[in-house]
Every structure is written in structure tokens, then in C-alpha cells.
Structure 1
């Protein structure tokens, strides 16, 4: 059966990915913190807004979905956000997502926790990715990361600030993710039960995180490196940290992990180019609000000059439309791209992008709109509570 018939939406990819992946990785992608209440609220938040249907309007059957945010254009109003360890879900998974994004004319954000590094990704995709920066407790390591970004042509950095305190993700604790640094009988059994994944990924040995490969303090193998990278995150991030990074980095700087209007107002005065309104996909503070519900007040606090990106919980084209109508400039998606590449590799990511693009086109036309610009101008007039 063709991809077009097998996969009609994001959840189809998620189901296939769960069947293919060892439980330790499927749960890592799926899981949230503690009771996973924020994780659920991220999805439920979209149901608080309905879309206004208009008919008999002159329409372009191929709506213009292009956007410009923070001075950069994208053919579509969404793109793959940073997801750690894409190369563990399928061999060279991060390369596959980067290539598909480049082909679609949308930016790709590479995680610090990616298997392949900046140079490898840039060469494979034909363009430098954006980079999600986690700050290490050692300033020298951070300086090396920034230098690598400069050397490989990175234009935009996303400083992630909501993980200095790592929350408890109970699924990961049960599975030993970030605490298992060697093969155990249980892990061996999980891998043995997923022969397709094992044959694809393990033929050349267990992968490593290229960014820290060969550095003894981070260990060997992606599992050990994941734990050490997490344990070494700078626990003392403040607005002074942002100011110091702003001085050190001349390219675009976004703060990822803002989820309160007061913090958005502080960001406005920090000399940054934009923020990502994010609760880390429900993986940090439990019992928080959905990000989509916070867009209007965060937009007001941030002001019109800085870019407002948003992530967490996005699964449908209509979700993207609601976010932009509420005041967001761009949407980042994490889990959907992880599921797509785990399920079907680069072909799956291509198909996912096409599915979401078509959902947005059809939904805009049914709303009597022919472009994202029209949607932005209409704003909340196209929504009903």
C-alpha cells in the first residue's frame, strides 16, 4: 500500500512509529512530565477555538502559504522544531528531516542532542540549519558550540531556557532513558523485538552525538552522552546569561521556552529577535496551560517587533491556522517529524509536509481565504470561542 493511502494524518505516523521503535525510544518521544496533564492540555487547547466558514468568496485554489518571520521567508507557516536523537529513531534521521525541509523550502532547527552535527547536516541538506543551543555548565563548551555555528554558517540560534531544571518524565524513568549507559538484558530484549529498527540502526554500531564525540567527559554512545549532556546543563540561567549570549552572538537570537507574558515582556527588552512560546511539549512543568491559549497575551506582552514562534501540541493544519489567527508568526513541530522519520524515513517526512500543507490549503479555502497574509490580517475575526 502506498504512503498516500497508509498515512492520512500525524497519528497514522505515530502509530507506525510506535510499532517499529523499541519502547525506550517510543516512550521518549511520546511522554510528558509527571501526570502528563500539560501534555494533554496542549491538544485540548485547540478545541477552545472554532473556525469561521465563509462561502461564495473569490478564491485562489492554491493558496499562498508563504510567510516572512524575523526577516526570513518560509514557503510554509510551519517547520520541524528541534528534536533530540532523531538519528536514533532511524539511521541518519536528522539528515532525512533536514533534507525534506530544504526540499520544501522551510527551515530546520537542529538540536544540541542530535546524532549528526552541524557540518554533516549542512553538507547533506545543502544549507546550514538553525541551531537549538543548550548551555553547558562549562563556558568553554558553549564557546565551542558558538564557534561551530559561525564556522558552519548558522544564522539563527534558539537558546532553550526551560530545561535548566529537568522535570521527571515517568516513562523515561521506568525505561532507564538517560540512566542506561550500557546494554542490559531488558534493553537487548527491546531491541531484539524490533528487528527492522535494529537492522537499520545498529549495522555500524551504536550511534554517538557528533557534537561531543571523542570527548571523554561526555562518555561513549548516544545513551551515555544523553545522560551526561542533561546532567551538565547550566542550572543558573538568568537574563544576564541572555545578555552575555547576545554580546557573543551576532546572528539572530531566539529564546525558546517562554510560557508567561511577564517573561515575554522581559524578552522584549533583551535585544533578542524572537521567542518560541513553548512548554517543551508538556515535558517540563506539569499542570501548565496549553501554548495556543497563551498566544494573545504573550503577543501583547512581546510587542509587534519581535517574532513570536510557538510549539507544543500541534498536529493538524487547522492548529497552525488557529495559532496564526491568534497572533503567532510561525509554528514549530517536534513529535510529528520524529514519528514520520521513525516510521518511513525521508519519504515519510516529505509526505507529512505535504499532508499538513494540503490541510492548511483546504481549511483556508473553506474559510474564504486565499493566503496566510489574509489570515493574519483577519486575525481573531476568523475564530469563534
Structure 2
């Protein structure tokens, strides 16, 4: 069977990635907080909305999927959101996802917890590179991150604000992720059972997080650095620090991890350029609400002039269409690109862009629409019907 036929949707990449990855990394990508109820609700939330089909419409041969966000016209209404340790799932995974995003004409948000760093990726990704910032408890470390962004010409920072309190991810606890400082016998056995992954990644030893390489306080190697980075997250995040960063950073600043309309109103007042409506993929607050269920009220709270992004639970082009119809400017995808790069590298990332763009285009045409602009101009009740 050809690869094109084998991979028809995000779930196909997930299955292939789990077969290739050691359990510690597969569980890290897939897992959620405590009972994983929010994780499940993120998917179930899309079923609360049904799309309306139209027929006998004047349809163009090509659907315009371009959307304006982050200050420019982008080719697609979705892009890879930040995922930690992409370079552990496949060698140079951060770069592979970033180059696929550049080829697709959309941004790539690089995680603080990335293997390849800003300095390595900026020359190849240019204006497509954005940076997702976790604030460290040491202000000098944060200033070094910002300086790296300035030197590299990064235009947009996504400040993640929903991890000041570290939740419990039971899968990670069982596997020892972020607790192991080096490869244990049990982890070595996991690696041995995944020879393709091991040969791909470990030819030159366990890689490190480039952004903190050479800093002894973070340790050596990705396992130790993952533990140190997590332990060093700023636990005293407040709106005052958002305003401090707004004053310090001259580029675009987007707050990631907002999921209450009151916080969206405060974000608007703080002068940021946008927010990411997110429950961290169900990895923080258990028993929370699905992100898709909050899009309309967050748009109302944020106002029309700032970018509204949304993530958590998106797997299909129709999911993305629903978010856009409810008022989002674009969707950020995390796990799908982690699975795609882990399963099939460069080809997998390109294939994922192709599949999702095709799903969006077909969905719009079946709704009688030729472009995202027409979708945005239509009344919501002409596009969606609440279920139940």
C-alpha cells in the first residue's frame, strides 16, 4: 500500500507514531491531566455543532483558504503550535515541522522545550518562525531568550501562561518523564524495542535542548534539561508580568492559555496582540470545558481587532471550519504535527498539511462557500446548528 493511501487522516499518523516511538514519548504526546476528562471533552465538544450544507451554489474551481493573522496574509487558517521535544520524536523534528510550515505558507511556533533552538532554525525559516515562551524563575534567563529572538529577527512571541501550576499527568509519572536524569535500564529497554527510532535519533547520543545548552544549572541532555526546565517555570505569573513583557518586547505578543472570558478582557486591556484560547490540550485543568465551546464568547470578550487563536483537540478540517465560523482567526495544531513528524518525518508533515487543507476546502464547498472570507461574512446561524 502506498503511503498516500495509508495516511488518510490524523488518526493514521497517531497509530504509526505510537508503533515507532518509545512508550515514554508516545505517552507524553498523548496524555492529559489526572482522569483525562478535559482531553476527551476537547474532542467531544465538536459534536455540539453541526455544519449546514448548501446545494446548487456558484462554486469556483479553487477554494481560497488564505486568512489574515499575525499581521499578514497566510496561506492557510491553521499552523503548527508549540510542542516540546519534537526533536526527540524524530531527528531534527523541530526543523522538519518548521520547514513544512514554511512550504505551506504559515508560521511555526517553536517551543522553549525544543531540541533545535532559535539560532539554528531562524536562518532556514525566516519570518515564518515564531517563539513560544515559558518564563523562567530567573529574569536573566528570560532576557537571554528575548535577546535570542531579537538577534534572529523573530516577530511574534507566544507567552504561555497556564502552566504556573504544574498539573499531574499520570502517564508521565508512571514513565518517569521529567523525573529521569539519564537513561535508566527500563528506558534503555524501551529504546531497544524501537530500533528504528533509536537508530534515527541516538546515533550521536541523546540530544540536548539547544536553547539552554552550556548552562550547567539546566544539566546535560534532553532528559535532565526537561526536568530542569519544568522545575524552573515561573510560579508567580501575573498580569503585571504580562505588562512587563509587553513593555520589553517590541514585536507581536500573544498570550497562550486563556480559557475564561474575564481573562480575555484583561488580555485586551494589557495591550497584547492576541490570545490563544487553550486548555493546554487537556494537560492542565482536569474536568475543564472543551476549547471549541468557548470560541464565540472569547471573541466577544477580546473584540474584533486582536487575533484569536484556538487549540486543543483539533483533528479534522471540519473542526477547523467550526472554529473559524465561531470567530477564531486561526487554529494551532500540536499533537497532529508531533505524530506526523514522528511517523513519517518531512513527508508526514507535508501530507498532514495536504490532508487538512483538502478537508477544509471540501467542507467549505459543501457548505456553498468559495473562501474563508465568505465563511467569515456569513451569520453564524447560517453555518452552524447547535446539537441537543
Trace 1:72-91 onto structure 2 (pairs within 5 A): 72-91=72-91
1:321 paired with 2:317, answer no
Cα distance, 1:47 vs. partner?
A: 0.4
Residue number in structure 2 paired with 1:382: 383
Cα distance, 1:2 vs. partner?
A: 2.2
Gaps of 5+ in 2: none
Structure 1 residues 209 and 185: alpha-carbon distance in aligned structure 2, compared to 1, 3 A threshold:
same
Residue number in structure 1 paired with 2:101: 101
SS of the residue corresponding to residue 130 of structure 1 reads strand
Residue number in structure 1 paired with 2:179: 179
Tell whether the 8 Å contact from 1:327 to 1:379 is kept in structure 2 after alignment. Answer: no
Tell whether the 8 Å contact from 2:364 to 2:370 is kept in structure 1 after alignment. Answer: yes
CA distance in 1, matches of 2:240, 2:314: 32
SS of the residue corresponding to residue 234 of structure 2 reads coil
Tell whether the 8 Å contact from 2:106 to 2:128 is kept in structure 1 after alignment. Answer: no
Cα distance, 1:121 vs. partner?
A: 1.1
CA distance in 1, matches of 2:376, 2:292: 16
Residue number in structure 2 paired with 1:363: 363
Residue number in structure 1 paired with 2:193: 193
Trace 1:288-303 onto structure 2 (pairs within 5 A): 288-303=288-303
Cα distance, 1:70 vs. partner?
A: 3.8
Measured on the aligned residues, the alpha-carbon RMSD in Å equals 0.8
CA distance in 1, matches of 2:205, 2:73: 39
SS of the residue corresponding to residue 32 of structure 1 reads coil
CA distance in 1, matches of 2:126, 2:158: 21
Cα distance, 1:379 vs. partner?
A: 4.1
Residue number in structure 1 paired with 2:54: 54
CA distance in 2, matches of 1:134, 1:21: 26
CA distance in 1, matches of 2:233, 2:30: 22
Gaps of 5+ in 1: none
CA distance in 2, matches of 1:349, 1:251: 28
Per-residue CA deviations over 1:114-136 (Å, capped at 9, x if unaligned) read: 00001211223354510000000
Q: Name the count of aligned residue pairs.
A: 385
Trace 1:31-180 onto structure 2 (pairs within 5 A): 31-127=31-127, 129-180=129-180
Residue number in structure 2 paired with 1:305: 305
* Normalised TM-score (structure 2): 0.98
Tell whether the 8 Å contact from 1:3 to 1:348 is kept in structure 2 after alignment. Answer: no
Residue number in structure 1 paired with 2:280: 280
Cα distance, 1:237 vs. partner?
A: 0.4
Which 10-residue stretch deviates more, 26-35 or 303-312?
Answer: 303-312
CA distance in 1, matches of 2:290, 2:158: 21
CA distance in 1, matches of 2:263, 2:80: 24
CA distance in 1, matches of 2:60, 2:224: 52
Which 10-residue stretch deviates more, 325-334 or 296-305?
Answer: 296-305
Which 10-residue stretch deviates more, 63-72 or 329-338?
Answer: 63-72
1:2 paired with 2:2, answer yes
Per-residue CA deviations over 1:27-57 (Å, capped at 9, x if unaligned) read: 0000000000000000000000000000000
